[in-house]
């Protein structure tokens, strides 16, 4: 462990001002539509427009490409505050970072200059094409192929479970470029544009939660990709993908913290007003213990996410451990706290009249995407066994 205690991160006045600004946008422009977005499974366009208008849709884009250049902690705060009222909407800044971070980490200057400014201006969104139906946790077993044809590449195959597919204009896609090469070192990354001939989408998945964020397959029917759209060098795709996830798992942790905090907010408001046996149920010790445990869990998850964000910004060597730990712990907390929030509201919590049932459904995916929590524990264990973390 490179640092201990409060040296790991610092919440500056700028970060707190950012939180206040995002919270105001979330409350005024996003929260009023959250139930409808979930009920009708429609993309949260009002949230998108509000986030673009306030430069919160892709705050991570560096200033040299027209972005605001927010650091990793600031980006987490944006995602957390939006997720507090609408998890689907929080995937706008989260997935824009996921889709474009491979470019920031590894692309040529030409590729960055072509694709990052439209993202920064809100004219385009980015998605990430890594998973396949039979290549989820085992990403190296992907079957999507890119075959060289002169200076171009011909892309064929599919990707599955792609967040905001169909909405995004640009996609970072991983494909095997050397079928006979060493497993894990035979994959390359490309930028695919929505308008590319032969590129299409499957039907939207029917999901338990985050219904406002479309999840669809990507279909590649001999899509011609110019060679200058490769991200990094040939064969470096999987390495770039894993480096990306080390950073972006933290944003899922931030989303999970936001969902959990939102559920705790609703539970607190409810128990203060709900009366049984002649007094507010907040006065009962059993509920007080439940609320204390919920608040303690949310705060520990938040601290872990912020520490990991600081490590992401610095590029610390133990980032893979902390990124996995933050995502894993925060998502487990989100599932537990949202379930407890439903319990605190009793029968009312089980109805759509209150948002906690939606939050409980939304929380579940945070334990699954960007690496299941079982995979996160494997990542952490490897680093522990190598002596790459610890006090």
Instruction: List active site positions.
Output: 370
* CB of 288 closer than 8 Å to CB of 282: yes
C-alpha 94/C-alpha 310 separation (Å) is: 17
Structural tokens at position 354: 């209150």
Structural tokens at position 124: 């385009």
C-alpha 262/C-alpha 270 separation (Å) is: 13
Pairing of strands 152-163, 215-226: antiparallel
Give residue for tokens 């559920």: 263
Segment holding 26, helix H or strand E: none
In three-state secondary structure terms, 170 is: strand
Angle at 365 between CA 384 and CA 36, to 5 degrees: 150
DSSP state of 230: E
Q: At what angle do helices 72-83 and 237-273 cross, to 10 degrees?
A: 40
Helices within 160-317 (DSSP H only): 237-273, 285-314
Would you mind telling me the total number of residues written for the chain in this entry?
391
C-alpha 260/C-alpha 302 separation (Å) is: 10
* CB of 126 closer than 8 Å to CB of 189: no
Phi, psi of 206 (to 5 degrees): -95, 110
Q: Which residues contact 165 (CB under 8 A, 6 or more apart)?
A: 127, 171, 201, 214, 215, 216, 217, 218
Q: Give the CA-trace dihedral at 383, 387, 388, 391, to 10 degrees.
A: 120
C-alpha 40/C-alpha 82 separation (Å) is: 19
């Amino acid at each position: 462990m490179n640092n201990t205690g409060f040296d790991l991160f610092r919440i500056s006045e700028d970060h707190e001002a950012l939180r206040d600004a995002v919270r105001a946008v979330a409350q005024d422009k996003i929260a009023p539509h959250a139930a409808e977005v979930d009920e009708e499974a429609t993309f949260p366009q009002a949230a998108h427009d509000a986030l673009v208008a306030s430069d919160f849709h892709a705050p991570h884009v560096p200033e040299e490409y027209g972005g605001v250049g927010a650091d990793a902690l600031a980006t987490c705060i944006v995602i957390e505050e939006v997720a507090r009222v609408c998890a689907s909407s929080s995937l706008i800044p989260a997935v824009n970072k996921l889709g474009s971070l491979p470019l920031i980490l590894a692309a040529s200057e030409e590729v960055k200059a072509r694709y990052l400014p439209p993202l920064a201006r809100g004219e385009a969104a980015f998605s990430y094409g890594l998973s396949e139906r039979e290549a989820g946790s085992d990403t190296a077993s992907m079957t999507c192929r890119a075959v060289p044809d002169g200076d171009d590449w011909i892309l064929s195959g599919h990707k599955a479970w792609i967040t905001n597919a169909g909405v995004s204009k640009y996609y970072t896609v991983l494909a095997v470029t050397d079928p006979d090469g060493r497993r894990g070192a035979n994959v390359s990354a490309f930028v695919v544009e929505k308008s590319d001939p032969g590129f299409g989408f499957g039907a939207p998945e029917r999901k338990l939660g985050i219904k406002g964020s479309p999840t669809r397959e990507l279909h590649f029917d001999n899509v011609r990709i110019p060679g200058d759209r490769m991200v990094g060098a040939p064969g470096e795709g999987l390495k770039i993908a894993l480096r990306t996830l080390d950073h972006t798992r933290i944003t899922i942790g931030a989303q999970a913290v936001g969902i959990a905090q939102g559920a705790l907010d609703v539970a607190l408001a409810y128990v203060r007003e709900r009366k049984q046996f002649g007094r507010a149920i907040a006065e009962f010790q059993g509920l007080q213990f439940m609320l204390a445990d919920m608040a303690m869990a949310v705060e520990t998850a938040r601290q872990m996410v912020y520490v990991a964000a600081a490590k992401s910004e610095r590029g610390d060597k133990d980032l893979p451990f902390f990124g996995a730990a933050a995502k894993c712990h925060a998502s487990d907390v989100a599932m537990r706290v949202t379930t407890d929030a439903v319990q605190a509201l009793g029968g009312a919590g089980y109805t759509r009249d209150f948002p906690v049932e939606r939050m409980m459904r939304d929380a579940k995916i945070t334990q699954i995407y960007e690496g299941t929590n079982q995979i996160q524990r494997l990542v952490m264990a490897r680093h522990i066994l190598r002596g790459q973390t610890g006090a």
